[in-house]
Structure 1
Amino acid sequence: MKHTRLLAALGSIALVTGVVAACGGDDAAQPTDTNAPGSADNAPLEISFVVPQVGDIPAKDNVIEKEIEKYTNTTLEFQWVPSSTYDEKINVMIASGDLPKIMRVNYVPTVINAAQNGMFWDIGPYLKEYKNLAAQNAQYYENIKIDGKLYGIPLYREIGRSALIYRKDWFDAAGLKPPKTLDDYYNIAKGIATSDPDKNGKNDTYGFMLDKKYNDGSTASNVVTRLAVTQGGVNKWGVDSNGKITAEFMTPQYMDVLKLFRRLYAEKLINQDFPALEGQEADKKFESGQAAMKVNGLATNAANIFDRMVKTLPTAQLDTTHWEGPQGFRIAAQNGNNGFHVFPKATVKTEDELKRLLKFMDQLLDEKMSTLQKRGIEGVHHKKVEDGMVQWIDLTAFNREVKPYRDDLLNFETYNVPPLKDSPLAMKGYKMEPEGLNYAVHNPVLNLSSQTFSERGKELELMISDAGTNYIVGKIDDAGWQAAVDNWRKAGGDLMIKEYEAAYAKHKK
């Protein structure tokens, strides 16, 4: 049976692959010892990686690579592949069975099918042996399980990192507070659109703007899901105590958000061009002072946006806050990873060899390696300041020299990494993103099986997203929306729900 999950359907299918070739034998690995050798006879563990190119290709034998090799007792060989051809290369490798020893992959049908066919090691039974891997929140692993088994190590990303970003100067001038109810969103939108907050004598500002991916399948950009969750709604799918699963667009909270957008559009209180507006263009409009709220942001992005904004709007002020509704903070959880590393059985042939590789991955999360990947080298990229914090010396050099390794290896911003001393807004974002996990509303079908979704999920989702846009712009009414939902159910939606319910019942046994 083909499998996938909803969040991966419209997301990137880029897969990052590493090849690990071991030298010599080894005893079973122990929990991480920062000075432990790569193998029992102290021979370095030879590791070659095939990875997508991130910026400029690092020079061979550069200092970052050498530091990793020295600490982990390895020799590394990187093959940097252009992102434009990377998907094709990885798919060919999986299809041909010409597999490396460590692969960074995404949760997509090709990978899931390979796991179900026995291609990868189930690492769940070994995780507790490795102190750094075992220390991470269990939800990060739960989100990548396949049929209840853990086939890889996630490239950790914060689960509750999305946040509302808003123009604090405009809010303060108008006596506004961050919105909690849908009426608040309407009143802010109307007030901003009609009060000329930028004082240019024109009605050319909005409370917030939408772009053409406002209802994208990923919660990273899905504004409807985010707002519906704040109002007590579900994150893409809901499940009750009896295991009954419901799509979000069948819930009243989702419909209430669509009605809000429909009203705003009819009254010209949101941008009329949103069905064709690219996300990058919407971002530029926000940064140029055309909107009061950014409703598809991340907490740590606020400072970067502000840095760009003040170059043309020097008096602007930004702030950020957790998504909040009548029930308190509620955040539509993201999947918590940027792919995950798997270990093919065809090339990792023994348990001892697997443990050696897991030890290497665990060492990457030790303090020295985590700091190297996330902050670079002291005195070159960062310097130590008060209270255990560090400050950038040369962020441009870090992005050129360190970021390629940070993006393709294993690290986590909030684990074994010294905090950054930065602007108050940036430091607020650093605090908010891990804190958001406490308020996360998870997608219950994130790692459940549905053959219908695997085969026709994108088509079915497009039916609903198109209907939502047509409803907002007034091309269809309530009856037309309901007809679209009925068509979705007949076209495979009901079958998909049944498959998810069966998988949920099996998973919960």
Structure 2
Amino acid sequence: MILSKKGRKSFTASVVLLLSTSLVLSACGSGDGKSAETNGKAAQTDNGQPFKISIMSNMFSEPPNPEGEIQKKMEAFTNTKLQFTWVPASTYKEKVNATVASGELPMVILIGNNKDSNIVSAVESGMFWEVGPYLKDYPFLNKMNKDVLNNVSVNGKIYGLFRERDIATQGITYRKDWLDNAGLQEPKTIDDLYNVLKAFTFNDPDKNGKNDTVGLTEDKLLAGLPMISTFMGAPNGWLQKDGKFTPDFMSPEYVQAMKFYKKLYDEKILVQDFAVLNNQQKRDVFKQGKAGAYMGSMNDAPDLYSSLIKAFPDSKMDIIGSVKGPNGDKSLGGTGYNGLYMFPKSSVKTEADLKKILAFFDKLTDQKMIDLTGWGIEGRHYKTENGKPTFIDQKLWDTESNSNYNQLLITKPTAKTPGEETALEKKRNAIIPELAKFAVINPTNALVSQTQNLKGVELQTAIDDAKTKFIYGKLDEAGWQKAIDDWRKNGGDKIMEEYAASLAKSKK
């Protein structure tokens, strides 16, 4: 099909508008601290003047001052002039729509889910630069995790720089003082876990003489259920066998995990109103000293403990990454990234400009930049004691950066020079790399299904509803099978076929 100039503009605008609805921004980034100074002049223009880069990113507080010392140091180090559009996460989509309507797209944009069908369509229309062939030319980019690169690829090609995250962070946070009071040891198996949760419910673990505790806090998303099913041997999200795909909830191990949760509910070991709780309320149940265990990201543990110890100064907390199932150690693996930066051709007009932008991101992986965006300026925001940085004025840091600038980093959050760590943080940092060794990975991470993107939320909502009813005892196994049959008829079979086709296409 050959489009007129007017038609091409209309098509591109339509794709961009679709793209705008799919942008999701989140979380922080940092790296491994290795210097990229060998590429120090790569971001310069031909005459040595700073290269101007426009960037759209999210923020978690007030936008930092563009004339402030942190940004000035970043610009000096990378020889750039940075123009930020800082957008609160709550209004980001509306801002993107306004930006698209203006026809002025930034040179750098952070995209949360590049497998959304609208983004894939934009990529396939030629809207974004393919960056894969250029990564080898930069010290840090050349070392980016190949498995994660595969996860972010579209049709086998790389169209952005991902923000690296640990591959497995899910675990069990629990009250160590309650465990000690119950006379039990750290759980090693699923049966041990059940016994611990039961003791947290019925053995007066807080020693207040009241029957006012529960073993496990949860919310309507049931974040712990896929962890338990993985421990039991279920696939993570999807099972791929002989080029064909089936969802995890069709596996017998998943049903076994639901029965485990139903047992916890029936015996009142699981918080009874989980179906109406959100994640914050789930966390509050733990923080308020009502629940003995929390299943989710172990990165939540320091915050949970910080709140808990204020209310209960004698409380103790601990974490474990997994318990053994019938097939040994398993952990729930993630994608290894949290969004990626992509570069529109409409604003990055030449290969030379693309290379300068890639050099900018590579330079930001230098330890100086990681610490600048993570700690600020020594003597102003932090001081060093016994070789460990510590904030001088947290309020000043919050005002002048507060995790806004480190949104740019494509490296892990743990890359900044560590401050004084608590015992809990040290244990978490030791567990996470071990979990990666036996993480079960979702085989669809690198694949695309248009039906999944268009109807996936609707279909998953129906499955989640059936799951909750099963745990509440309002749906038996025949009813659960009926929910699966409905999922298949309403688009699930199409999703399975499209993932199979995407896998076949990626191998060509």
Matched residue SS, 1:103: strand
Matched residue SS, 2:239: strand
Structure 1 position 12, deviation (Å):
8.5
* 2:335 equivalent to 1:335: yes
Structure 1 position 185, deviation (Å):
3.0
Which residue of 93, 103, 118 maps to 1:110?
118
Partner residue in 2 for 1:138 = 146
Partner residue in 2 for 1:6 = none
Structure 1 position 82, deviation (Å):
3.5
Which residue of 70, 74, 96 maps to 1:68?
74
Alignment partners' CA distance in 1, 2:422 and 2:346: 49
* 1:51-62 correspondence runs (5 A): 51-62=57-68
Partner residue in 2 for 1:46 = 52
What is the percentage of aligned positions where both structures have the same residue? 38
Change beyond 3 A, Cα 1:129–1:98: same
Q: Is the 8 A contact 1:182 1:257 kept in 2?
A: no
Partner residue in 2 for 1:348 = 348
* Structure 1: 5+ residue stretches without partners: 1-10, 17-29, 215-221
Alignment partners' CA distance in 1, 2:196 and 2:97: 48
Matched residue SS, 2:404: helix
Q: Is the 8 A contact 1:470 1:476 kept in 2?
A: yes
Alignment partners' CA distance in 1, 2:40 and 2:183: 54
Partner residue in 1 for 2:221 = 213
Alignment partners' CA distance in 1, 2:100 and 2:497: 30
Alignment partners' CA distance in 2, 1:230 and 1:251: 13
* 1:361-440 correspondence runs (5 A): 361-386=361-386, 389-413=388-412, 417-440=416-439
**Which has the larger displacement, 178-187 or 360-369?**
178-187
Alignment partners' CA distance in 1, 2:67 and 2:495: 50
Structure 1 position 360, deviation (Å):
0.7
Amino acid at match of 1:235: N
Alignment partners' CA distance in 2, 1:197 and 1:415: 34
Q: Is the 8 A contact 1:15 1:106 kept in 2?
A: yes
**Which has the larger displacement, 121-130 or 176-185?**
176-185
Structure 1 position 416, deviation (Å):
5.4
* 1:457-476 correspondence runs (5 A): 457-476=456-475
TM-score of the pair, normalised by structure 1: 0.87
* Structure 2: 5+ residue stretches without partners: 1-20, 27-35
Partner residue in 2 for 1:278 = 278
Matched residue SS, 1:208: strand
Change beyond 3 A, Cα 1:13–1:333: farther
Matched residue SS, 1:311: helix
Q: Deviations over 1:31-79 (max 9, x none)?
A: 8523656223111111233333320222240111111011011112223
Q: Is the 8 A contact 2:50 2:80 kept in 1?
A: yes
Alignment partners' CA distance in 1, 2:330 and 2:394: 33
Q: Deviations over 1:147-202 (max 9, x none)?
A: 11110001222221222111111112323334344333322222221101112222
Q: Is the 8 A contact 2:163 2:412 kept in 1?
A: no
Partner residue in 1 for 2:226 = 225
Matched residue SS, 1:61: coil
Partner residue in 2 for 1:237 = 238
Matched residue SS, 1:324: coil
Alignment partners' CA distance in 2, 1:379 and 1:499: 56
Q: Is the 8 A contact 2:58 2:404 kept in 1?
A: no
Q: Deviations over 1:197-217 (max 9, x none)?
A: 112222221111221121xxx
Matched residue SS, 2:44: coil
* 2:455 equivalent to 1:456: yes
Change beyond 3 A, Cα 1:306–1:12: farther
Matched residue SS, 2:437: helix
Matched residue SS, 1:50: strand
Q: Is the 8 A contact 2:43 2:360 kept in 1?
A: no
Change beyond 3 A, Cα 1:335–1:66: same
Structure 1 position 334, deviation (Å):
2.0
Alignment partners' CA distance in 2, 1:338 and 1:434: 17
Partner residue in 1 for 2:14 = none
* 2:188 equivalent to 1:189: no
Q: Deviations over 1:221-261 (max 9, x none)?
A: x2211111122221111112x12212100112211110011
Partner residue in 2 for 1:164 = 172
Partner residue in 2 for 1:324 = 323
Q: Deviations over 1:429-448 (max 9, x none)?
A: 23333443333221111231
Alignment partners' CA distance in 2, 1:142 and 1:185: 35
Alignment partners' CA distance in 2, 1:114 and 1:35: 32
Change beyond 3 A, Cα 1:12–1:178: farther
Change beyond 3 A, Cα 1:304–1:81: closer
Q: Deviations over 1:258-296 (max 9, x none)?
A: 001111212222121111112211211101111111112
Matched residue SS, 1:447: coil
Partner residue in 2 for 1:14 = 24
Structure 1 position 349, deviation (Å):
2.2
Matched residue SS, 1:177: coil
Q: Is the 8 A contact 1:181 1:231 kept in 2?
A: no
Change beyond 3 A, Cα 1:434–1:12: farther
TM-score of the pair, normalised by structure 2: 0.87
Matched residue SS, 1:360: helix
